[in-house]
Structure 1
């Protein structure tokens, strides 16, 4: 399989094209420091055969959010370095997803709008991403991913729902400006030999939000600004329900009723848009990739360059190796029940409920 062969872009040399996608684990401590269980989680996936692990959303700012991993201060670097060293020891590369979020109230549902942010707020946000990228490099990460998807700050800027009338709004170029300026600042600090990519929602799945008509243009703007890869997610907006509860949320965490490969058309559309401008930066697909054979079909069809996997490997860290070794019947299969999402919503350790039941049954059998 070609997706199991090595690939190289910017400073990354991956042993294969399989990416462990970022998903909040709630395994950081209350302050945001790395813990042993968090290291163990990623080491298990590295041993399981992934070429790249993209670490869950890591806060670039010091704002309340339970058990969120953080990189907003130098004090977090040692723990992050311990984690990257452990993953590198297994032959796997590691990037980190950098996240900024506006003020909001879970109790009342109020959320600060990007239209309310002053130029001073925007400058602070940009500086936080740039400084966090510098820390990420010191911590041993092989690159960073800017979180420009779902319902967070940067994604709210690039969305059609952004109604700013200044230079950070009005049209696609304006709505993308904060991201392109962050890219410019990062390159000034870390140079051109460090991988910087982003994750976007290929479609937002809310009324008046971005569709492929907008995101293909956004992808082209980002590629021209120096992005090294674009990871394509979907939905996750809070306009139709908080914390992935509405339809947009169900498209982000694709539910059992949706078909396998339900978001492949998004990565395919963005890949084609990049070809139109002569860009060959990798595009990461996500959204219910059934198995390695399915991933190979997506790659061979030119619809994506890297195959993103999350919940199947949350259910079974050996999801890859069991297929490679012909042990498919041993795989603990994800049912897309989103029990993991329920745990996330409760700020509990995000583990697979199916895997937990299998472990309990096996433990009972040994007793």
Structure 2
């Protein structure tokens, strides 16, 4: 019998992923200053398609320039970005993988010194001003327009980034005390994400693969509320998959300190939506543990940086485990990381790169 990790996964729209191992959206800082994809960033992602990941997702792509959150971030905001997106989509398709563009806005975690524009957020704070209702509606429409841009470029789907404290999380947070329809109550705080997801589905059609990333805790998100929202989104009929970013699949929930955070999501009603998990999945044994717990697929982060062929390596060796750290810069180059990505791993992630 084929190991579960290498059984195909057919999504609700009929699209089939060849296995249950996908590439997580990973910041790499390799795009140009204007958000245009670089050859290095295209090649890094293409190599993961060649290495057997059944779905390859980009790093977060800003949908508005004022949402740029880090140096070298790719954009999906204007016609300037179209040619690079189309080239990436074509090369991922040729590699045999499914492709996804992750859509994001940084909100009060944006970088005005990079964009030249002031920060905006759900509410005033951390140097950001609160958005008007009209601006919230415009942002919603921008997410939808960026999804259409991705579809036109040839991507198989998009993922809406509603996690990690970026703008959509700022709306979901219990710190969103707006007095209009976009804040305060649970229904109001979740409204923007719900309208973005339903708007993308309507605009892009039933065949387009649509995912959503959520944080299960932190950033003003209570676990019980995260479970409620995850259930509503999975059973709502618009998503092909939900991507829950767990930090560490084996960790306990921070509000209880007992059990596993992973298990808090495994028994939730899913409808026809697939459920994926990410968080310190470094080895074949970790992949099996997540799938055995009930996840439909996993998203590989650090292991995908260290091994362009993580799925193929796991298929060849049931005991496969990603390399221990640190590794050399030359080794990372051998795994199709460009110089800016290597520098990012060396300077921002202590202990990752030797020297």
Place the TM-score, normalised by the shorter chain, in its bin: 0.7 to 0.9
Structure 2 match to 1:3: 5
Provide the rounded CA distance (Å) in 1 between the counterparts of 2:83 and 2:25.
21
What is the CA distance between 1:123 and its match in structure 2?
1.1
Contact 2:345 2:353 in 1 (8 A): yes
Structure 2 match to 1:139: 153
1:233 corresponds to 2:245:
yes
What is the CA distance between 1:331 and its match in structure 2?
5.1
TM-score w.r.t. length of structure 1:
0.78
* Runs of 5+ unmatched residues, structure 1: 235-251, 255-259, 341-346, 361-367
Q: CA RMSD in A?
A: 2.8
1:13 corresponds to 2:40:
no
1:289 corresponds to 2:297:
no
Moved over 6 A (4+): 327-330
What is the CA distance between 1:138 and its match in structure 2?
0.8
1:273 corresponds to 2:268:
yes
Provide the rounded CA distance (Å) in 2 between the counterparts of 1:40 and 1:85.
12
Q: 1:121 to 1:6 in 2, by over 3 A?
A: same
Deviations 1:128-177 (A, max 9, x none): 10100101101111111001001211111111121123221222221110
Q: 1:44 to 1:78 in 2, by over 3 A?
A: same
* Runs of 5+ unmatched residues, structure 2: 124-129, 254-259, 333-338
Deviations 1:95-126 (A, max 9, x none): 0110012255678xx96441221111101101
Count of equivalent residues:
317
Q: 1:352 to 1:214 in 2, by over 3 A?
A: same
| Equivalent position SS for 2:198 | helix
Provide the rounded CA distance (Å) in 2 between the counterparts of 1:199 and 1:53.
15
What is the CA distance between 1:187 and its match in structure 2?
2.4
Q: 1:331 to 1:226 in 2, by over 3 A?
A: closer
1:214 corresponds to 2:225:
yes
| Equivalent position SS for 1:218 | helix
What is the CA distance between 1:348 and its match in structure 2?
4.7
Out of 311, 314, 319, the residue aligned to residue 310 of structure 2 is 319
Q: 1:31 to 1:106 in 2, by over 3 A?
A: closer
Out of 145, 156, 169, the residue aligned to residue 155 of structure 1 is 169
Provide the rounded CA distance (Å) in 2 between the counterparts of 1:316 and 1:355.
14
Structure 1 match to 2:73: 68
Provide the rounded CA distance (Å) in 1 between the counterparts of 2:303 and 2:30.
19
Contact 2:176 2:189 in 1 (8 A): yes
What is the CA distance between 1:313 and its match in structure 2?
1.7
What is the CA distance between 1:73 and its match in structure 2?
1.1
Provide the rounded CA distance (Å) in 1 between the counterparts of 2:189 and 2:210.
20
